[in-house]
Every structure is written in structure tokens, then in C-alpha cells.
Amino acid sequence: MSTDSLDDLVFKALAHPRRRGILDLLKGEPFTTGMLVDAFPDLDRCTVMMHLKVLEAADLIIVQREGRERWNHLNAMPIKQIHDRWIGEYATHALNILDRLRSDLTE
């Protein structure tokens, strides 16, 4: 899969607030699917599984099966790669502009 295709999957996955909520929970520790269902009582198991499928396709979670349990672990690397490619570069550019503006105002 090309980098652009994976980026599209990551952006799609991060676009939904429930999926961001799931990732927020996984920042601290892995959760089983059942634990995630319990964490979102307004969603049924199938809906949580649908969100997990999107996150897994974007490589934002790594699934580890232990018997009947499915442990979901955060994989932050795709987010870091998005940051490095898109956010970091633009933030550096914006800081350079602000630095030049500050210099111009102090002269």
C-alpha cells in the first residue's frame, strides 16, 4: 500500500470522534474489545467493532488475540508520520514567518 493510500486511511479513521475517543483510551493501556464496548455504553458491540476495523485498516491499532479475548493496542506511528509530513513542516514554516515578523517589528 502506498504512503498516500495509508495517509488517506489514517485521516479517515481520525475524522470520526468515536474513533478518536477509542484511541484516547488506548493511549494509556491496551483494552479488550469488551472493555471498549463497556467504555461506550451508548454504542452496541457491532458499532464498536466497525470502528475498530477502520482503526485496524489504518494501522492505528494492533490486535493481539489471547484465547477468546482480542486486545487492542495503540500504534501511534501512523499519527507521527502524519505529523512529520504535514504538521511539522507547516509549523516550522509558520514559526519562520513569525520570527521574520518579530525581527521586522523590532528594527
pLDDT at 6: 82
pLDDT at 53: 98
pLDDT at 84: 86
From the options 1.10.10.10, 3.40.50.11260, 1.20.58.340, 3.40.50.970, give the CATH code of 3-76.
1.10.10.10
| Model pTM above 0.75 | yes
> By C-alpha distance, which of 27, 14, 25, 24 is closest to 58?
14
Give me the average pLDDT of each 10-residue run along the chain (107 residues): 80 97 97 97 97 97 96 96 82 78 82
- Edge-first strand order for the sheet with 69-74 is 31-32, 69-74, 61-66
Q: Quote the CA–CA distance of 61 and 98 in Å, as a whole number.
A: 37
pLDDT at 2: 63
Domain spans, the chain:
3-76
